[in-house]
Amino acid sequence: MTTTIQTIRDDFSFLDEWEDRYRYVIELGEALPPFPDAERNATNKVPGCVSQVWLTTERGPGADPVITFTGDSDAHIVRGLVAIMLALFSGKTASEIQKIDAEATLKALGLDEHLSPQRANGLRSMVKRIKRDAEMALAQTA
């Protein structure tokens, strides 16, 4: 995925209506690369999401590895939220991931007040999983 979190912030700032923003989030999800069926398994499933969400983690070499995430969901809007999380976290070092304030980003986008409680919980579960994977990557090199 080539969309950066800054591009998403900029695009959100041009969209005044929430209906347009939701459409944009869905388009972000549609732009995700195909997710392999073999990766749709219990190991990659994110618990705590009402919709099904899968995340894979690829850890680079080194003491503070770059971590690449891929993901998917069976729900259109949630797939877009996965795309936003990937733009926020994927391709960064484990220590950078630990410092990212996902809640502040979601608040800046206005998503915190426009998501149902179930979707907000699902997003928190995704963030928790991503941060846990980064923490494990750092611990494996210690």
The model's pTM is: 0.93
Residues spanned by the domain of 52: 5-141
What phi, psi does 2 have (nearest 5°)? -105, -5
Please state the domain count of the chain.
1
pLDDT tens track for 101-131: 998 998 888 887 888 888 888 889 999 999 9
* Residues tagged active-site: 49
What is the domain-level CATH number for residue 56? 3.90.1010.10
pLDDT at 120: 84
